[in-house]
Chain A
Amino acid sequence: MLLLLFLLGLLGSGCTSVKEYQKSRINDGEMELSGRKIQKTEISFQTYREGSSGANGGKTGGGCGCN
C-alpha cells in the first residue's frame, strides 16, 4: 500500500513535460497502457479460475458466472 501511495505521489508531482514531437516511443503501439486485445480471453479465464479480478481492463464481477 505504501508503495502505491508513493507512486500516486509520483504521478501527481511534476514530471518532465514531454512534447508531442518527443513521443515517438511513447506513441508506439506496444506502449499502450490498456490491455491488448489478444489477452482478452486470458483475462476472462483468470476471472473464472481466481478469486480476485479488476483494475486490468477485464470484468470485476458480474456479466458472467464467474467469481
Chain B
Amino acid sequence: MKKICLVITGLCLSIIGAFAQVSDSSAYKSRKLVVEEVNLVSSYYHQDGNNSAVEGGIGSEKLTDFANILEVKMYHYDKKNRKHSWALEAGIDYYTSASSDRIDTKANSSASSSDIRFYPMVSCNMENEVKGTNIGLHASFSTEFDYQSIGFGASFGKKSKDRNRELTLRAQAYLDQVSIILPIELRGFGGGGEDEGYPREARNSYSFSASVSQVINERLQLMLITELVKQDGFLALPFHRVIFNDNSPARSEKLPSSRFKVPIGLRANYFMGDHLVLRSFYRYYQDDWGLNSHTADIEAVYKFSSFVSLTPFYRYYKQTAIDYFAPYQQHKPTDEFYTSNYDLSAFTSHFYGAGIRLGAPRGVLGIKKWNMVEIRYGRYNRSTNLNANIISMHLKFK
C-alpha cells in the first residue's frame, strides 16, 4: 500500500511539474513545445464469481484492480505550419487476485496473489491542417511479473475537402513474452521456478484497422471501423488448469497457436435538441476459434450547461463459446485443445451506470488550471454469475 501511495504522490507531483512548462497560447501558433493538457484517469475495479480458470472452472474469481493513467499532451507548429502533437502516457495497475493465488494450492497466500503492471506509451502525430492529413507513430511497453510486451504502430488520416469525411488507416504490432508459470503440481524438475527464472514463450499480435467517419448533417455523425487481427505464438495462459472427465491428472490449458479476429464497429452520435447528446456503438465480432459476439452500447449525455453534464449508460454484450471450451470435468483427455476459462464461454453481460462531469470557467474549486473533473460508476453482471463494480475518475488540467 505504501508503494501505491508513493506512486500517487509521484503522479500528482508530475502534474504540478508539468505546469511549470504550460504557456497560454490559444491563438498564437507556437514554434515551441507547449503543454496542451494533462489528464489523470484513476479507477478502482472489484469483481467476484465462482468459475476460476486457475482451478479448472470452479473457485473464487475475486479480483481488485487499482489503475492510474497519467497523460501529458504537448504540441508545437513547424515552419510549414504543420502541427506536431506529442502524448506521453504512463499507467500503473496494482491488482490482487484470489484465483492467481491458487496457482500454488499448498500455500496460504502465494507470490501470485498480487502484482503491479506498468505500461508507458509515447505517441507523436503530425497534422497538416491545409491538406487535411495526419501521420502518427506510437510505441508502448508493458510489464508485469509474468508478461512483457513491446508495441509499436503507425497511422495515416486524410480528411475530405469539406472536412465532413475522414479516412484513417492504422497498423500496429505487439511483440509479447509470456512466462510459463505452471500450476504448482505440474512443475517437474528443471521446469523453472522463481529462483531460476521461468521459461518464456512468444505471443505476437498484428492488427490493421480502417475507419471512415462522416458528418451526415448538423446533428449527426457516424464512424465505421473495421479491424483485422492476427495473433500467433503461445495464446493460452499456462496457470489455467483443466480437469478432465476421467479424473486423470490436471493439465495446463491448451489452445491453438494462431487466432484471426475480425471486429467491425459502428459509432453514431446525435445531438438532440439543445441539451441531449446520444452516443451509440455497435460491434460485431468473429474469430476462427468459433467465437462471435454482438455489443450494443448507448450513452445519453444530458448537458445542464456547457460545464455540467450527467451521463447514464447501458451496454449489452453476448458471445458464443470458443470451440475448445468446456466446463469443469467435461473435457475428454483425448481433446486436442482444451480450456475451462469462462471468459471464453457462452454468456451475456449487462454493464450499466452513470457519470457526472463538472467543469468550471474559472477552474474547478477555483484552481485555474483544473479544467474538468468527471466521475463515473458502472456495474457489470455476467450470466455466468460474475459481477463487478468499477468507479473511475478523470481529472483534466489545461
Contacts and interface: CB of A to CB of B under 8 A. Distances in A.
B211 to A, nearest CB: 9
A24 to B, nearest CB: 8
Given A26-B218, A49-B386, A41 B45 contact: yes
Contact of B216 (A16, A28, A48, A65): A16
B377 to A, nearest CB: 11
A10 B224 CA distance: 11
Interface residues of A, number: 47
Given A38-B355, A41-B45, A11 B222 contact: yes
Contact of A51 (B41, B309, B319, B386): B319
A45 B266 contact: no
Contact of B164 (A17, A28, A61): A17
B386 to A, nearest CB: 7
Contact of A55 (B176, B212, B263, B388): B263
Given A45-B388, A60-B229, A15 B69 contact: no
Given A26-B221, A55-B265, A11 B214 contact: yes
B174 A63 contact: yes
A10 B222 CA distance: 10
Contacts of A22: 218
Contacts, number: 199
A64 B118 CA distance: 11
Interface in A7-40: 7-8, 10-11, 15-20, 22-23, 25-26, 28, 30-33, 36-40
Nearest to A22: B218
Nearest 8 A-B pairs (CB), nearest first? A62-B205, A62-B174, A55-B265, A54-B263, A52-B285, A55-B263, A41-B43, A25-B271
Interface of B: 39, 41, 43, 45, 47, 65, 67, 69, 71, 117, 119, 140, 142, 144, 146-147, 149, 151, 162-165, 173-174, 176, 178, 203-205, 207, 209, 212-219, 221-227, 229, 231, 237, 259, 261, 263-267, 269, 271, 277, 279, 281, 283-285, 287, 291-293, 295, 301, 303, 309, 317, 319, 322, 343-344, 349, 351, 355, 374, 376, 378, 380, 382, 386, 388, 390, 392-394
